Amino acid sequence: MEGRSLTLYCGDTELAQWPTAATRLVRPDHVHLWFTELRAHEEHVDRLLGLLDAEELARAERFRFDHDRHRFIIGHGLLRHVLGQRLDLSPEAIRFARGPHGKPYIAETRLHFNFSDTKDAILIALSEGAELGVDVETMARSVDHMAVGEHYFTSEEVADIRETPEPKRRFLELWTRKEAVLKASGVGIMDDLKVLRVNAPEQTVELAHDEFKRMASDSYHVRTWSLGTDHIISLATSAPPTGVVFLPLNYGA
């Protein structure tokens, strides 16, 4: 396959703002970012388990440790809950189709969605606008950021991490950007993350990975937020979003 280029537009890291009740009636083409910490839903594990289909139940059973199993159940149960509310469907009735690399979608709807979790939090993105991908990370994550950065990041990104007052936070900002772009494309996993330079306002890169060349948009618009002191979120969309709103995910309230 011939080479092709991809343009990435990356903004500065912003502070996430929770909307007031009066601003929650947003347009369908806005991106809705539903966030919650896992500990808020531990008491609902059994109820959320009842929302999962046979494939999800089988995946949940394969986890060795209870905390990993609970994170999966809570995350995927809440995803069904949010999608059911948006589509006016029973959460148990939702049927997922999957793209070539496993990215789920719901056939015959205009709704784009994506899911991400980390050891202590869950993020769900919805929009009827452009294709999207999201990633959430926690500052509580144990990671050798310089070793990982040297392997996956460009020399400019590594220098950026070294020179910042908070190198771990900067590493996670850039890492979530790369992950969000890959998830927006539907590829999900790619070895050569160095091709995606995400610490410049605008960067055109040449793609070599065949599946990424085939599936990626011509450009991605990437935004990053700090949510409190502990969590970092990135969103990638194939067109500039008309609006982005953060929403708390309150199940059973």
Distance between CA atoms of residues 130 and 239, nearest Å: 6
Q: What is the DSSP letter of 65?
A: S
Going from the C-alpha of 194 to that of each of 28, 184, 199, 207, the distances in angstroms are: 34, 17, 12, 10
User: Cβ neighbours of residue 105 under 8 Å, at least 6 residues apart?
Assistant: 96, 97, 98, 99, 112, 113
Alpha-carbon distance 191 to 212, whole Å? 11
Q: What is the pLDDT of residue 21?
A: 58
**4-20+29-248 CATH:** 3.90.470.20
pLDDT digits (tens, 9 = 90+) for 72-117: 999 999 999 999 999 999 999 999 999 999 899 999 899 999 999 9
pLDDT of residue 79: 98
The arithmetic mean of pLDDT across residues 149-161, rounded, is 93
Domain boundaries, the chain: 4-20+29-248
C-alpha count within 13 angstroms, C-beta hemisphere, residue 70: 16
Could you read off the pLDDT of 114-138 as tens digits, one per residue? 999 999 999 999 999 889 999 999 9
Q: 23-37 burial by CB neighbour count: b if 16+ within 10 A, else e?
A: eeeeeeebbbbbbbb
User: Mean pLDDT over residues 163-181, rounded?
Assistant: 96
Tens of pLDDT along 192-226?
Answer: 788 899 999 999 999 888 889 999 999 999 999 99
List phi, psi (to 5°) of 76: -75, -30
pLDDT in tens, 12-42: 999 998 876 545 556 778 899 999 999 999 9
- As a whole number of Å, the end-to-end CA separation of the chain is 52
The predicted model scores a pTM of 0.95
- The residue among 9 and 209 whose pLDDT is bigger is 9
